[in-house]
Structure 1
């Protein structure tokens, strides 16, 4: 569509998380403090992920980059007599190449230049293991490749829930005290308890993470120690997820707040990890989070009684770092320039394609882009002085976009692999490889198939879909046709999501050995650069996978039974209706103008099918049956009356669970034979829709509209 924008060369990576426009939120907490209270502002960020030169889009406007963020942070601090600067984890890891190619030393240098006072650990600080984590924080030669020497952080890092198994003590100091304006403030650090499932096992070797109960006990213990030192203002830098929606704050950070005593001395819990907005109070604790990638920052205002040290008033604002009219910080620009001068390839296209390197039908069959990614993974350097692995396996759900026709930039590669997963090299027997392939073919609770075909490198197989899953692989060989020996041990590269048993690939958890390696995107980028040298990027299907009895039809989008998102549902509807009438970007705050689904959402909004909530559409959230019904009902004439709608819905066992806004819509679709119940007379209004179910509903509704 004509409004679709292509970001400039200065944009290295587009943020993969949908960011909401953040405005000032009202004060949360007690009434005005006395006039002699000390006003302190805690200025902070979370989940920067080394995105030093990353421009994101929020509400059709450019946002972020370290030079812009630095200007905002410096100006915020300059306004206040008493302030501290902090970050709340994942400042490094899953980073843009301008930082990751030098083991995130550029990001550490930027934080030192900014004068951060305190930081906490996020799960991504563990990506390359404890030795690398300590080198980044305390200085020294980075063990990864041994090419980067870290200067170390010039500020304090804290964490209280990661314990070194060799000593039984916290990995780093659990808390620190900062004094500003004559008052003392204690900072306790935490990282999400889900870290072991987010990081390769090698990344957390040598440490253990406290359970929820142990974590609460640790916070209480250290809060008591701080009080014994005369510190009554206590902040928990918890890299735990939290989200505030419609005034309600939920997530792991909120659970922590509820688990702490109501009279706990903890005043504020800073959240992170899920890249969302949080600004609300739970059990007397203010919980705040400011999105990610430097697109926003939080300003936590504390009014502290200088006599008692208690917080008399607390509130927070979250400010979006829009670029328009903001001068870039020269010191930050200098750090980026130094890295780009060292890696000039980052500002240039990495190659071109003819539009054929796609992920089409990757859930069911071999795909050109799947082959390209798997080949790159197989060649990854794990620093073990070994050659290429025997095999590589890529889950289709991790391939998020096609390579565009024409020039391909690093930003395009980042859209394909946006998660910053760590690659893991495993040792698997031939029998385990066969089991892994069998685990591609799952079954949903309702008995329908759930296929997630792995994209592969280094092997070939034939699957006969006329046979049971346990017998389906009828031929399994190396690329040259040599049969794979069930008893032999092979090396295989997967991402850390799969290595932890994600997508039901449970056999990988039983691998003989596991070696953590580089970030998947870094490997993909370097492989493209080295192999194609800026020319035509080529990949095709090669007969690596032969499915007998399976459909050879290739739909535009992968056919699978995963629950689909609101954006995917709307895109399917717009595609079926062949809508193409608007030339304006969508008005929703959380729909970036360059998002793959942006044009479809704009068309659906123009047609009156969707309205959103509070200016947002929530494109990535799973769509429910009742939400789908409210969209499809707008296609139809002659809806049922309110009275008849109530009668129809009341006839179902779970009719009372249908949201009020969806009653008439669901009843209309039921009345016209579009929506049906399960065998148990259940509507299941809050249940998600699979791709196939959504397609069937849309087809019925469009047919009813035409009739």
Structure 2
């Protein structure tokens, strides 16, 4: 079994601990440095024992945030200067997809160009890599021209074979660094069905659990003597990596956009480095021996030069946001800004992309009433106004295009995850541009519709609620302003009695919802369980995305040949000086 020295004061291996820090607010202690968390300084190489050090610098869930590209370039440069020529930059997935407009408008090619400027050649496959279809990923994003080895061991062997839909995806890749052979093994979340459309799930064709696939590949690599160390890159929550065995020396995870640390069953550290280029995990692998007899020590790296821990509770992850603006980055600044450095290249890519985005996205498509905006916050007992706005726009489009003249009621929905910015009018000038709408709705969904019964609609509404720690919790979904209902809270023990613990999400296919929906009305008229209702939304949500499984019971599903942002663009054009409707909270507690 490999020997792994971590940091002082670590928890016993028998107690797996995952410490979660919120992704939205990264905690920073002033003047703190990584060494304060017990990190071990870089120890170099030992020719007498054959010990060599390889540095790994990991980002995850970058999502095309090229506005922070220079910050990441500075961090990668610092990591390399810490161990010159022996640093490997990696990504744990979702490098592209769901991106800001500057990258998304060019189909994320600016992000791929920036990654090349960083020297990033290894990434796990994330679910958002498939946003524009599995075929687009395999043919364009995974093109050899972009220089990245994309890793996903739990995709079926048939699909990865020559002629398969993901023929450019590998189980693993090996890099020889500082005289040592490092095997990198990737995998994708087992919950792909909850975060991707059925077509993507079908085309991706995962045939193993992520942890099982990685364990199998890692074992083969170690036992065959092909590698001296194994690095796992799993695009899944840190807890999903806990089942990794002794053949994995360090694991990097992602997907939840959080800062996390834990340990595997085999004793290796697990790191999750937040999202959007705001943090980076940097570790040294100190390796003695070779192949099956190699011993690997994992040491957190203190890069110095003004870097700070991303959270005092998550060792080994540094704060990256704003790093390029620091004046203390002597490690890379001392070489001079020649225009050929990594930071300069990253900044150039962003400048060009930003200029293009400003040019093509400046067209004004709508105006807002004086002093108003639409945002995702819940205030003063009123609904999330931007979610409701998008739901109303979806309803208006489907009612006009598909069901004009019919008497069936039409309602709209929008899921929170499909809305990527906090506000519609980002600069607050009262005008809404193409860029602002496409930034809000940056995913690759289609406008879609289907037919539900009144009971189905109630099941959808009930899926907003769940019991956690014996308290009723609500996850917000945008609902069109013509819908009204009340909910009756069920006893948490009653819901648990249906076969699920009280702190889990509830499946609408079973009668174990946390609430009962009563008095459902549409356009002020009561809706019976067997009444038919037309539902308008995006293709992802109506196929059961975000765990809204009740949408899957719908019939007559159809998609419009337009992106899911188009209904909002047309709605804004038709309603100048638009203001939130300030309707009371949908779903009054009975």
What value does the CA root-mean-square deviation take over the aligned residues? 5.1
- 1:290 paired with 2:281, answer no
State which of 188, 203, 217 in structure 1 corresponds to 2:200. Answer: 203
Q: CA offset at residue 285 of structure 1? A: 0.9
> TM-score normalized by structure 1?
0.56
> Structure 2: how far apart are the matches of 1:70 and 1:165?
37
After superposition, the Cα gap between the structure-2 partners of 1:178 and 1:408, relative to the gap in structure 1 and judged at 3 Å, is farther
After superposition, the Cα gap between the structure-2 partners of 1:471 and 1:205, relative to the gap in structure 1 and judged at 3 Å, is same
State which of 555, 566, 579 in structure 2 corresponds to 1:539. Answer: 579
Whether the 8 Å CA contact 1:42–1:300 is kept in 2: the answer is: yes
> Structure 1: how far apart are the matches of 2:62 and 2:574?
31
Tell me which residue corresponds to 2:346.
Answer: 332
- 1:436 paired with 2:420, answer no
Tell me which residue corresponds to 1:80.
Answer: 83
Q: CA offset at residue 233 of structure 1? A: 0.8
Aligned length: 483
SS in 1 for 2:97: coil
List runs of 5+ in structure 1 lacking aligned partners. Answer: 1-14, 54-64, 140-150, 243-250, 543-551, 562-691, 693-707
Tell me which residue corresponds to 1:256.
Answer: 243
Query: Which is worse superposed, 355-364 or 197-206?
Result: 355-364
State which of 394, 409, 412 in structure 2 corresponds to 1:392. Answer: 412
State which of 472, 492, 500 in structure 1 corresponds to 2:536. Answer: 492
State which of 370, 377, 384 in structure 2 corresponds to 1:354. Answer: 370
SS in 1 for 2:579: coil
> Structure 1: how far apart are the matches of 2:76 and 2:160?
38
SS in 2 for 1:128: coil
Whether the 8 Å CA contact 2:486–2:588 is kept in 1: the answer is: no
After superposition, the Cα gap between the structure-2 partners of 1:379 and 1:220, relative to the gap in structure 1 and judged at 3 Å, is farther
Tell me which residue corresponds to 1:344.
Answer: 358
Matches within 5 A, 1:51-70: 51-53=65-67, 65-70=68-73
After superposition, the Cα gap between the structure-2 partners of 1:448 and 1:42, relative to the gap in structure 1 and judged at 3 Å, is closer
> Structure 1: how far apart are the matches of 2:150 and 2:69?
21
Q: Per-residue displacement from partner, 1:372-397 (whole Å, max 9, x unpaired)?
A: 3224546899xxxx989976312579
Q: CA offset at residue 191 of structure 1? A: 1.5
Tell me which residue corresponds to 2:234.
Answer: 238
Tell me which residue corresponds to 1:318.
Answer: 317
> Structure 1: how far apart are the matches of 2:428 and 2:296?
59
> Structure 2: how far apart are the matches of 1:438 and 1:424?
23
Q: CA offset at residue 100 of structure 1? A: 0.9
Matches within 5 A, 1:96-495: 96-139=100-143, 152-163=145-156, 171=166, 172-212=169-209, 215-216=211-212, 219-225=215-221, 227-242=223-238, 251-253=239-241, 255-257=242-244, 260=245, 264-282=246-264, 283-308=266-291, 310-316=294-300, 317-321=316-320, 322-323=322-323, 324-326=325-327, 329-344=343-358, 353-358=369-374, 369-377=386-394, 392-395=412-415, 406-407=428-429, 423=445, 425-429=447-451, 431-432=452-453, 435-437=456-458, 439-440=460-461, 454-456=478-480, 460=482, 472-473=519-520, 492-494=536-538
Tell me which residue corresponds to 1:586.
Answer: none
Whether the 8 Å CA contact 2:390–2:568 is kept in 1: the answer is: no
> Structure 1: how far apart are the matches of 2:456 and 2:477?
13
Whether the 8 Å CA contact 1:159–1:170 is kept in 2: the answer is: no
> Structure 2: how far apart are the matches of 1:519 and 1:92?
18
After superposition, the Cα gap between the structure-2 partners of 1:409 and 1:45, relative to the gap in structure 1 and judged at 3 Å, is farther
> Structure 2: how far apart are the matches of 1:388 and 1:271?
45
Whether the 8 Å CA contact 2:572–2:578 is kept in 1: the answer is: no
> Structure 2: how far apart are the matches of 1:451 and 1:178?
43
SS in 1 for 2:429: strand
> Structure 2: how far apart are the matches of 1:114 and 1:296?
15
Whether the 8 Å CA contact 2:59–2:280 is kept in 1: the answer is: yes
Query: Which is worse superposed, 273-282 or 358-367?
Result: 358-367
> Structure 2: how far apart are the matches of 1:451 and 1:179?
47
After superposition, the Cα gap between the structure-2 partners of 1:349 and 1:313, relative to the gap in structure 1 and judged at 3 Å, is farther
Higher relative contact order (CA 8 A, sep 6+): 2
After superposition, the Cα gap between the structure-2 partners of 1:27 and 1:79, relative to the gap in structure 1 and judged at 3 Å, is closer
Whether the 8 Å CA contact 1:370–1:396 is kept in 2: the answer is: yes
- Larger Rg, first or second structure (1 or 2): 1
> Structure 1: how far apart are the matches of 2:192 and 2:555?
20
> Structure 2: how far apart are the matches of 1:75 and 1:490?
56
> Structure 2: how far apart are the matches of 1:296 and 1:451?
27
After superposition, the Cα gap between the structure-2 partners of 1:451 and 1:270, relative to the gap in structure 1 and judged at 3 Å, is closer
Tell me which residue corresponds to 2:28.
Answer: 21
List runs of 5+ in structure 2 lacking aligned partners. Answer: 1-21, 301-315, 328-332, 334-341, 405-409, 489-514
Tell me which residue corresponds to 1:617.
Answer: none
After superposition, the Cα gap between the structure-2 partners of 1:285 and 1:394, relative to the gap in structure 1 and judged at 3 Å, is same
Whether the 8 Å CA contact 1:123–1:195 is kept in 2: the answer is: yes
